[in-house]
A and B are shown apart, each in its own frame.
Chain A
């Protein structure tokens, strides 16, 4: 079942006459059986998009097509979507088992009682809530209710599964386990799915492709590797990846880039397709591509933390904070001066005014 969002826009009437544009001209094509994550910070429009797909919000402009049917004009009950709610939204008087089986009964009128019960049981076991099936939502913890809500959505046979922050309340360990299981379940049943999350780890782990949104606008839509290696603009570059990419303001000169925070220094980037001389750009380098102890730039170490499997070294170059990640311990003390640099192929060049990517290493975007 393919989901197509075409020029989708949502404008809320603002309180004081200023309309709030939550989503602007969003185009997105989710292939049959694909899991797509809408990733962004709060207020970026990802939840509004999901609510428009589900039918809780009117579409201001554009269209939504699911399995060949135009659904944005249909009421929610006729869209054939299943949804896991961030706020759980379980039916208070029903047991967990009844909650999970509730929508299922309508999807498959021919489904036998036994098969339906088995489906509920299977989903509950997968999410480790099989021992809670007889309880009512009020007696469950937040994490348990969240899994019950997720189970209710996963149990259904819908054309589209919508998952709104489905694991926000779970403990990290359980979350790591369930990410894999939920993905495997969705894949095994070829469920086309849209996942809304602000957690990039979750997006990376569960989604086939990730749509990064900011200020109502789709910034980039691609696989995790594409977003990491070829960010379309400065926003995606600094938003996606942990810790975030280092960004240096710089000006293109004949002998290379002149960083604003290192006057008199020139960074030669042989092979990188730089724009014309005099253009202001932003140079991006991911923390694990910063090489400490070699290079033309200098700074003083302001912190050096070993996180168990990697070292985070924070270097201050004038007022600019630079983060470097190393997989071995780094013998640097706080206050010590250190040289650092990076290879031309590990750089990203962005237009300083528009933020658009101009080069990734030696390649043009």
Chain B
């Protein structure tokens, strides 16, 4: 883009303001619309033309939290809060397991050269290339045999396909960026390898680890297809649970909207809390090959 004096002139500032507003509206509109829908009844939502002014109602949230969905066709049990709990459990434990496995692995790939090292690292990354459905078909058969189908353990295991490569590669970039000399200095000062790793390397890569963990959490949270195939109702996360809102008596738009708002909240809170780290992590660690 040509850089002129426009940004200092009045017209330029005005145009820039309009452009920024347009971008913000474009990106935030769906979210704002969903938040508004979540405070409306199905009838209000389906009104034509739609109205921006309406009488807000908490009926959708009440239905979700109490777990009872009352429709024209009768009352229906809604395991939404349980789904939300499943989402938190699956995502959090998956990320924790990935961190425990991935951070030491990332350190090894960054610091040591060993036979087939690059190949192993790339193979781990390639798990993310495979279309999930391709993996799922054989996996679901194996899981039936192993008794892992419809278990938290099985799901968390499969979720490693999402979290582990992400954490491994982002954190590896961070370890590579940090000079090993600080660890060396710590070693000659009389400390073991393990202490240098835990006391020096991990804190220095801390922002990267936090950012990678957060990203992995979001990816795990948003996963749909693994849980759809491998888990039944009581183990399902919100992404799959939302299907329940398509009922015999129609689609419950209001409840879907409220469910979306509720399921965005945990990740949103986490992302806001770690926003600074996230940006740093993406710009410093992930770019490095």
> Footprint of B on A, CB under 8 Å?
13, 54-56, 75-77, 79, 81-83, 85, 87-93, 102-103, 106-107, 149, 152, 156
Which residues from chain A contact B188 at a C-beta distance below 8 Å? 54-55, 76-77, 79, 81-83, 103
The CA-CA distance from A106 to B185 in the complex, in Å, is 13
Query: With A77-B191, A92-B204, A106-B190 as given contacts, are A83 and B113 in contact (CB-CB < 8 Å)?
Result: no
Report, as a range, how many residues of chain B touch the other chain: 10 to 19
Query: With A13-B113, A89-B179, A92-B204 as given contacts, are A83 and B193 in contact (CB-CB < 8 Å)?
Result: no
Indicate if B182 sits at the interface (CB-CB under 8 A).
Answer: yes
Indicate if B145 sits at the interface (CB-CB under 8 A).
Answer: no
CB-based closest 5 A-B pairs? A89-B181, A103-B189, A76-B187, A89-B185, A106-B190
The CA-CA distance from A21 to B181 in the complex, in Å, is 23
- Is A89 a contact partner of B189 (Cβ separation < 8 A)? no
- Is A75 a contact partner of B190 (Cβ separation < 8 A)? no
Which residues from chain B contact A75 at a C-beta distance below 8 Å? 187, 192-193
Which residues from chain A contact B184 at a C-beta distance below 8 Å? 54, 56, 76, 83, 85, 89
- Is B187 a contact partner of A87 (Cβ separation < 8 A)? no
B176 to chain A, nearest CB (A): 15
Which residues from chain A contact B204 at a C-beta distance below 8 Å? 92
Interface of chain B, main secondary structure = helix
Within 8 A of A (CB), among B169-198: 179-182, 184-193
- Is A91 a contact partner of B190 (Cβ separation < 8 A)? no
- Is A90 a contact partner of B182 (Cβ separation < 8 A)? yes
Q: A91-B185, A93-B203 are in contact. List 18 more A-B contacts (CB 8 A).
A: A54-B184, A54-B188, A55-B187, A75-B187, A76-B184, A76-B187, A77-B187, A77-B188, A77-B191, A77-B192, A81-B188, A85-B184, A87-B181, A89-B181, A89-B182, A91-B186, A92-B182, A152-B185
A54 to chain B, nearest CB (A): 6
Which residues from chain A contact B182 at a C-beta distance below 8 Å? 89-92
B147 to chain A, nearest CB (A): 44
The CA-CA distance from A103 to B200 in the complex, in Å, is 15
- Max count, chain A CB within 10 A of own CB: residue among B182, B188, B191, B204: B188
Which residues from chain B contact A88 at a C-beta distance below 8 Å? 181
- Max count, chain B CB within 10 A of own CB: residue among A77, A83, A93: A77
The CA-CA distance from A56 to B186 in the complex, in Å, is 12
Query: With A13-B113, A92-B204 as given contacts, are A85 and B185 in contact (CB-CB < 8 Å)?
Result: yes
B61 to chain A, nearest CB (A): 45
Q: In this complex, what residue of B is CB-closest to A12?
A: B113
Which residues from chain B contact A156 at a C-beta distance below 8 Å? 189
Which residues from chain B contact A92 at a C-beta distance below 8 Å? 182, 204
B166 to chain A, nearest CB (A): 27
The CA-CA distance from A90 to B192 in the complex, in Å, is 18
Which residues from chain B contact A82 at a C-beta distance below 8 Å? 188
The CA-CA distance from A56 to B183 in the complex, in Å, is 10
Which residues from chain B contact A13 at a C-beta distance below 8 Å? 113
A148 to chain B, nearest CB (A): 11
The CA-CA distance from A76 to B181 in the complex, in Å, is 12
The CA-CA distance from A76 to B193 in the complex, in Å, is 9
The CA-CA distance from A89 to B189 in the complex, in Å, is 12
Q: In this complex, what residue of A is CB-closest to B184?
A: A56
A107 to chain B, nearest CB (A): 8
The CA-CA distance from A75 to B189 in the complex, in Å, is 12
Which residues from chain B contact A55 at a C-beta distance below 8 Å? 187-188
Q: In this complex, what residue of A is CB-closest to B195?
A: A77
Q: In this complex, what residue of A is CB-closest to B199?
A: A91
Which residues from chain B contact A83 at a C-beta distance below 8 Å? 184-185, 188
- Is B181 a contact partner of A85 (Cβ separation < 8 A)? yes
- Is A87 a contact partner of B190 (Cβ separation < 8 A)? no
B280 to chain A, nearest CB (A): 15
The CA-CA distance from A77 to B184 in the complex, in Å, is 9
**Can you report 22 residue pairs joining A to B where beta carbons are below 8 Å apart?**
A54-B188, A56-B180, A56-B184, A56-B187, A75-B187, A75-B193, A76-B187, A77-B190, A77-B191, A82-B188, A83-B184, A83-B188, A85-B185, A89-B179, A89-B181, A91-B182, A93-B203, A103-B188, A106-B189, A149-B185, A152-B185, A156-B189
The CA-CA distance from A56 to B190 in the complex, in Å, is 13
Q: In this complex, what residue of B is CB-closest to A82?
A: B188
The CA-CA distance from A88 to B187 in the complex, in Å, is 14
- Max count, chain B CB within 10 A of own CB: residue among A55, A82, A85, A156: A85
Which residues from chain A contact B187 at a C-beta distance below 8 Å? 55-56, 75-77
Q: In this complex, what residue of B is CB-closest to A75?
A: B193
Within 8 A of A (CB), among B183-234: 184-193, 200, 203-204
B76-120 vs A, CB cutoff 8 Å, 1 = contact: the mask equals 000000000000000000000000000000000000010000000
Which residues from chain A contact B180 at a C-beta distance below 8 Å? 56
The CA-CA distance from A93 to B200 in the complex, in Å, is 10
The CA-CA distance from A335 to B67 in the complex, in Å, is 100
Which residues from chain B contact A107 at a C-beta distance below 8 Å? 190
The CA-CA distance from A106 to B191 in the complex, in Å, is 9
Which residues from chain B contact A54 at a C-beta distance below 8 Å? 184, 188
The CA-CA distance from A79 to B192 in the complex, in Å, is 12
Q: In this complex, what residue of A is CB-closest to B204?
A: A92
The CA-CA distance from A344 to B251 in the complex, in Å, is 106
- Max count, chain A CB within 10 A of own CB: residue among B181, B182, B200: B181
B115 to chain A, nearest CB (A): 9
Which residues from chain A contact B179 at a C-beta distance below 8 Å? 87, 89
Within 8 A of A (CB), among B248-268: none
B233-249 vs A, CB cutoff 8 Å, 1 = contact: the mask equals 00000000000000000
A73 to chain B, nearest CB (A): 15
Which residues from chain B contact A79 at a C-beta distance below 8 Å? 188
Which residues from chain A contact B181 at a C-beta distance below 8 Å? 85, 87-89
Which residues from chain A contact B113 at a C-beta distance below 8 Å? 13
The CA-CA distance from A211 to B6 in the complex, in Å, is 64
Q: In this complex, what residue of A is CB-closest to B115?
A: A13
